[in-house]
């Protein structure tokens, strides 16, 4: 989330001057986030399934989500999503092999 937010802030400032988009995705920050461009962590235990953050509103605040699912190791069956909302960050979790929560109200609190 930190790498995406920094990227979106940088692109967002430029976009406000030119009228373009200020969003960032996993491909743009994979190296600085410590994952491959396919979203896999180096240890092979986690897979990033969604990673998108943009800066919008006035004042410009981050909005978007990062979701990860376990694909091996001792956290099998767990998944989580972190949402950047106008009210702040919201973490939601799922267990039992369910996919990562798709909204700030889905799944259960972490």
Average pLDDT over residues 58-87: 88
Q: What is the CA radius of gyration of the chain?
A: 15
- Residue 75 banded pLDDT, cuts 50, 70, 90: confident
Beta partners for residue 82, in sequence order: 66, 91
How is 44-94 classified by DSSP, letter by letter? SSEEEEEEEEEEETTTTEEEEEEEEEE-SSTTTT-EEEEEEETTEEEEEEE
- For residues 46 and 91, give the distance between their C-alpha atoms in angstroms, rounded to a whole number: 17
Does position 20 have pLDDT exceeding 70, yes or no? no
Percent of the chain with pLDDT over 70: 90
Beta-carbon-side half-sphere exposure of residue 12 (alpha carbons within 13 Å): 19
Percent of the chain with pLDDT over 90: 41
Q: What is the DSSP letter of 8?
A: H
């Amino acid at each position: 989330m930190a790498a995406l937010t920094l990227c979106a802030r940088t692109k967002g400032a430029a976009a406000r001057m030119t009228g373009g988009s200020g969003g960032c995705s996993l491909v743009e920050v994979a190296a600085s986030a410590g994952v491959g461009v396919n979203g896999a962590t180096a240890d092979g235990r986690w897979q990033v399934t969604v990673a998108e953050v943009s800066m919008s509103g006035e004042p410009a605040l981050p909005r978007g989500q990062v979701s990860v699912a376990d694909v091996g190791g001792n956290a099998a069956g767990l998944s989580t999503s972190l949402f950047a909302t106008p009210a702040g960050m919201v973490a939601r979790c799922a267990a039992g092999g369910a996919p990562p929560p798709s909204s700030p109200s889905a799944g259960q609190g972490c």
